[in-house]
Copies of this chain bind each other. A is one copy, B any other.
Amino acid sequence: MIYCCMMLILQNDSVNMVAPQLAAVFTKLQTLSTSDYASVVSMNIFVALLCACIVIGHLLEENRWMNESITALIIGVFTGVIILLTSGGKSSHLLVFSEDLFFIYLLPPIIFNAGFQVKKKQFFRNFITIMLFGAVFPTTSWRQYTCWSQLNLLMYVFVLPRLIFLVVTGVINFFKEMDIGSLDIGDFLAIGAIFAATDSVCTLQVLNQDETPLLYSLVFGEGVVNDATSVVLFNAIQSFDLVNTSPRILLEFIGSFLYLFLASTMLGVIVGLVSAYIIKKLYFGRHSTDREFALMMLMAYLSYIMAELFYLSGILTVFFCGIVMSHYTWHNVTESSRVTTKHAFATLSFVAETFLFLYVGMDALDMEKWRFVSDSPGTSVAVSAVLMGLVMVGRAAFVFPLSFLSNLAKKSACEKISFREQIIIWWAGLMRGAVSMALAYNQFTRGGHTQLRGNAIMITSTITIVLFSTVFLGSVTKSLIPAGYAQVFGLMTKPLIRFLLPHPKPTASMLSDQSTPKSIEAPFLGSGQDSFDDSLIGVHRPNSIRALLTTPAHTVHYYWRKFDNAFMRPMFGGRGFVPFVPGSPTERSEPNLPQWQ
Contact = CB atoms under 8 A, between A and B. Distances in A.
Interface in A43-68: 43-44, 47-48, 50-51, 54-55, 57-59, 61-62
Contacts of A24: 241
Contact of A519 (B55, B236, B290): B290
B339 A295 contact: no
Given A235-B5, A239-B29, A309-B40, A351 B297 contact: yes
B311 A4 contact: yes
Given A41-B309, A55-B282, A302-B47, A236 B594 contact: no
Contacts of A597: 62, 482
Contact of A591 (B256, B337, B512): B512
B25 A241 contact: yes
Given A8-B256, A21-B241, A522-B290, A235 B55 contact: no
Interface stretch (A85-93, A548-556, A579-587): A579-587
A294 interface: yes
A529 to B, nearest CB: 11
A563 interface: no
A184 interface: no
Contacts of A295: 51, 54-55
A232 B4 contact: yes
A150 interface: no
A456 interface: no
Contacts of A51: 295, 298-299, 302
B351 A17 contact: no
A25 B47 CA distance: 41
A590 interface: yes
B235 A4 contact: yes
Contact of A585 (B17, B313, B585): B585
A473 to B, nearest CB: 18
Interface string A73-117: 000000000000000000000000000000100000000000000
A409 interface: no
Interface string A269-284: 0000000001000110
From A2, A248, A282, A312, residue with most partner B Cβ within 10 Å:
A2
A564 interface: no
A515 B587 CA distance: 5
Nearest to A255: B8
Nearest to A315: B1
A82 to B, nearest CB: 18
Q: How many copies altogether? A: 2
Contacts of A5: 235-236, 239-240, 256, 260, 311
A516 interface: yes
Interface stretch (A167-175, A340-348, A494-502): A340-348
A238 interface: yes
B241 A208 contact: no
Given A51-B298, A302-B51, A305-B44, A517 B58 contact: no
Interface of A: 1-9, 12, 17, 19, 21-22, 24-25, 29, 40-41, 43-44, 47-48, 50-51, 54-55, 57-59, 61-62, 103, 208, 210-211, 231-232, 235-236, 238-241, 244, 246, 248-249, 252, 255-256, 259-260, 278, 282-283, 286, 288-291, 293-295, 297-299, 301-302, 305-306, 308-314, 335-340, 343-344, 346-347, 350-351, 354, 442, 482, 512-520, 522, 526-527, 584-588, 590-591, 593-597
Nearest first, the 8 closest Cβ-Cβ pairs linking A and B are A7-B311, A515-B587, A5-B239, A339-B585, A290-B519, A3-B311, A340-B343, A4-B235
30 contacts: A2-B239, A3-B311, A5-B240, A9-B239, A12-B252, A22-B249, A44-B308, A47-B298, A47-B301, A48-B302, A50-B298, A54-B298, A58-B291, A208-B596, A211-B596, A289-B515, A290-B347, A290-B516, A290-B519, A294-B347, A297-B347, A297-B351, A338-B585, A339-B339, A339-B585, A340-B340, A514-B590, A514-B593, A517-B594, A527-B588
Given A208-B595, A286-B517, A290-B516, 4 more contacts: A22-B240, A47-B305, A59-B282, A288-B519
